[in-house]
Amino acid sequence: RWLAVRCWHCRSVVRVQTRNTKYWRCGVCRRVNGRPAYARGAWAGVAQCGLCRFYASRLVHVVAISLIVGIVGFALGWALPLASASYSVATKTLVWSVSVALSANVVYHFCLAARSDPGRVPRLSRERWARLVADDQWEKTAGRLPWCEVCDNLKPPRAHHCSTCSTCVVEMDHHCVFLHNCVGAGNMAYFARLLLSLLAGTTYATTYAASLVGAAFLRGTSDLRAVALIKIARRHASAIAAIPETSRYIVNTRDGRYLVVGAVCAGVMCGIAVLSFVTLRAFALGETALERSARLWRAGPDYRHKRPALSRIARDLFRA
């Protein structure tokens, strides 16, 4: 089956096969175009459509802001400092100061990473780029410039085209849907600081919640009783049937609420710790995630499809 489509560059009408690849080359101007979404099938069209991915990234960005404000603001800004109401004035001031400082640090670095330029290549003509890089060592003529045929712009070394942002980014690591922005040479440091600030905030919240629950259990003043949980479990035939009543009991107790806050922050902390390790490893090796994937792909299928043994994981992680 053939479709009549219009070239985005020269506006010529050409015929393209529906079973062709994701990109097609115009027979008139010889430039590369993206295939229309309706020619790839329903699911493939939605998954590969740049506009759909752009608005999906924006939706996830809004959800991420809501989660950060909810988790960080609730845990650090209200729930845990509220537990220090019976403390002395000095201790209460210290707890509130640390909570507010960590919350502000997370929000500040999130705004920096989301709003800063990741290293987008300015859109200029081929002749203008030839004049700008005339003194550079790797190119001197317009015909030899490394060119991105998708966005019709210069593609410097270590640059990658982001199909969601529709531009090339220098030293692009990945497109973060939570930031609704690419992570590249311009904001990689901000992204790493965001992860470290989130790790510090969730670690503080988890430790504080665990200390509150543990201190109440040691003093014998905890309102979360194991006997009550056992009675609830005995009233139901299965553990799944006891989940709603157990959840209501835990949420209605003071220490149960602290336990829920600590468990949520602990789960976020584990995920952020893994991301922080991967990001700091990329900093240490000077290699982005895309460059690492390309290097592993060039290593061949024998290496790609083998999972290293546990004794080789550390050596593989820190290998240049």
Question: What angle, rounded to 10 degrees, do the helices at 254-285 and 188-219 form?
Answer: 150
The rounded distance, in Å, linking the Cα atoms of 111 and 179 is 9
**Strand-pair category, 13-17 with 153-154:** unpaired
CB-based contacts of 14, cutoff 8 Å, min separation 6: 4, 5, 6, 7, 26, 27, 28
Two structure tokens written together for 284: 């240490």
Cβ proximity of 114 and 87 under 8 Å: no
Which bin fits 142, alpha (ψ -120 to 50), beta or left (φ > 0)? Answer: alpha
Residue whose tokens read 């190119």: 139
Cβ proximity of 53 and 61 under 8 Å: no
Amino acid in position 249: Y
Two structure tokens written together for 222: 């905890």
Helices and strands, number each (H, E), in the chain: 12, 10
**Strand-pair category, 181-183 with 13-17:** unpaired
**Strand-pair category, 159-162 with 181-183:** unpaired
Which is the catalytic residue, given 176, 182, 265, 270?
176
Is residue 176 part of the annotated active site? The answer reads yes
Residues in the chain: 320
Residue whose tokens read 């988790």: 71
Q: What single DSSP character describes residue 83?
A: G
Which bin fits 119, alpha (ψ -120 to 50), beta or left (φ > 0)? Answer: left
Cβ proximity of 155 and 121 under 8 Å: yes
Which residues are tagged catalytic?
A: 176
